[in-house]
Structure 1
């Protein structure tokens, strides 16, 4: 007959280990969110130029925040401030929601302005 094994006592979350999310995970989430934001603002039109380029300064500790830099190509003519704001808001919301990490800053850099006939 098998003996019963006692269940270990539940430990506090910090004592069980810790989670480290790689910078490339933040970057992929941010790139996808930026693309979705631009597609949402301009329904029915394909995104201008190439895909967003993202770099992330990851948290130094589990409780620290990340800084995300997103380089995008935007259509011209358009309300560039509104497009940049949509990208910034979407990236911050998605990175925070999917990783549980606080986003300190999202820097949106406009790499190129793309007209309808180019890109």
Structure 2
């Protein structure tokens, strides 16, 4: 049995990796805070709750769906647990990649 805190750390790392891959190099310099995760495991299943920052502008719904899918797949692969739910909370949107305004 894998402790909840270990599953949460795996989920946070998977979220960070997936977020960087999904958003691409143009948001690499964005001031995104590392994802935070909480996990609850019970009888071979896990429920994950993550809090993430997203770069803006981005397709928020599409990015969240893709994150949920990739986090679920990665955590299931690494832990052998069935992931029943991945709940994402967007903590904040970080504006990046915009040129400075000039008057």
TM-score (norm 1): 0.74
Alignment of 1:33-112 (within 5 A): 33-44=14-25, 45-46=27-28, 48-59=31-42, 61=43, 63=44, 65-112=45-92
CA RMSD of aligned residues (A): 1.4
Question: C-alpha deviations, 1:7-55, integer Å up to 9, x for none?
Answer: xxxxxxxxxxxxx101111111111111111111122132542000101
Q: Which has the higher contact order (CA 8 A, sep 6+)?
A: 2
CA distance in structure 1 between the partners assigned to 2:35 and 2:23 by the alignment: 16
Give structure 1 stretches of 5+ with no counterpart. 1-19
CA distance in structure 2 between the partners assigned to 1:111 and 1:49 by the alignment: 10
Question: C-alpha deviations, 1:65-106, integer Å up to 9, x for none?
Answer: 110001000111110011111210111001111111100000
Distance 1:52 1:82, change over 3 A: same
Give structure 2 stretches of 5+ with no counterpart. 98-103
Count of residue correspondences: 95
Q: Which residue of 1 aligns with 2:2?
A: 21
SS at match of 1:58: strand
Higher helix share: 2
Structure 1 stretches of at least 4 aligned residues deviating more than 6 Å after TM superposition: none
Give the number of the structure whose alpha-carbon radius of gyration is greater.
1
